[in-house]
């Protein structure tokens, strides 16, 4: 079993890092802002992995190449595993993400729209290199899946879909609540009632983290292997350090020297 992990997620949109609240975006700063406010030579001690997602509405190759340049720059400063993804429409684009310093790729819409691409990534890099991201909303006590930046509803239920992905075989599944996204009100732990018993694929929980106690709430569940936050402002300065120390009092995390 993998050790429990804390993951920091950066959201990149057309030249800037952004905050997301219910998938509505707020521009925060460019790469220079990020380097000024987050010392990657230091914060590697307080997170276990980094995810950098390209959520640009502009799907042009120019924007994608700029995103990959950002990945390369960040990877030179990091001493922890990095995952990338978003707006990947071909295997060549997937390769470019791996070649930009990423160990894993995050795929969302492709599991619905382009499963052949996912199969090609899996056959070339192995299932452990793939994180399947699932965005969902609670609508009248039913959990519905959305893709294309939360704009399209998928016809299968969350329970049906997560079973299908597990049978297909991926390294991890990342579940993200659109309702809780960016609110800081805590994770929607009720979604775990729809995860099959004895589920083997590691789950990353995302959407709603505001402080360390929220991480603990999720990680104490045996089905959750990792938690992720994309709240740049809540965890600026020594916020990540404070949160990790709080979590370590309750949960065994990897030890970084």
Residues in the chain: 257
Catalytic annotation on 135? yes
Q: Is 93 helix (H, G, I), strand (E, B) or coil?
A: helix
Choosing from 42, 69, 135, 217, which is the catalytic residue?
Answer: 135
Say if residues 45 and 86 touch (Cβ distance below 8 Å): no
Strand duo 16-21 + 203-206: pairing = unpaired
For residues 54 and 97, is the Cβ–Cβ distance under 8 A? no
Compute φ and ψ for 28, nearest 5 degrees: -115, -55
* Backbone phi and psi for residue 207, each to the nearest 5 degrees, phi listed first: 105, 90
* Residues labelled catalytic: 135
């Amino acid at each position: 079993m993998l050790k429990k992990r804390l993951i920091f997620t950066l959201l990149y949109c057309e030249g800037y890092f952004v905050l997301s609240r219910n998938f509505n975006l707020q521009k925060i700063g460019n790469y220079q802002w990020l380097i000024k406010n987050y010392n990657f030579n230091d914060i590697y001690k307080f997170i276990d992995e980094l995810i950098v997602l390209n959520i640009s509405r502009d799907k042009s190759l120019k924007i994608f190449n700029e995103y990959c340049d950002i990945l390369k720059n960040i990877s030179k400063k990091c001493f922890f595993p990095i995952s990338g993804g978003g707006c990947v429409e071909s295997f060549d684009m997937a390769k470019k993400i791996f070649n930009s310093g990423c160990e894993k790729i995050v795929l969302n819409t492709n599991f619905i729209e382009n499963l052949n691409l996912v199969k090609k990534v899996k056959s070339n890099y192995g299932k452990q290199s793939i994180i399947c991201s699932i965005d969902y909303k609670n609508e009248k006590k039913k959990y519905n899946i959305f893709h294309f930046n939360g704009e399209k509803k998928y016809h299968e239920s969350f329970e049906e879909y997560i079973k299908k992905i597990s049978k297909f075989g991926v390294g991890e599944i990342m579940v993200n609540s659109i309702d809780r996204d960016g609110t800081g009100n805590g994770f929607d732990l009720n979604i775990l009632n729809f995860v099959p018993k004895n589920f083997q694929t590691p789950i990353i929980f995302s959407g709603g983290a505001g402080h360390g106690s929220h991480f603990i709430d999720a990680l104490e569940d045996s089905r959750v292997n990792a938690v992720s936050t994309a709240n740049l402002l809540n965890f600026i300065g020594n916020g990540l350090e404070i949160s990790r120390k709080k979590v370590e009092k309750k949960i065994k995390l990897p030890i970084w020297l």
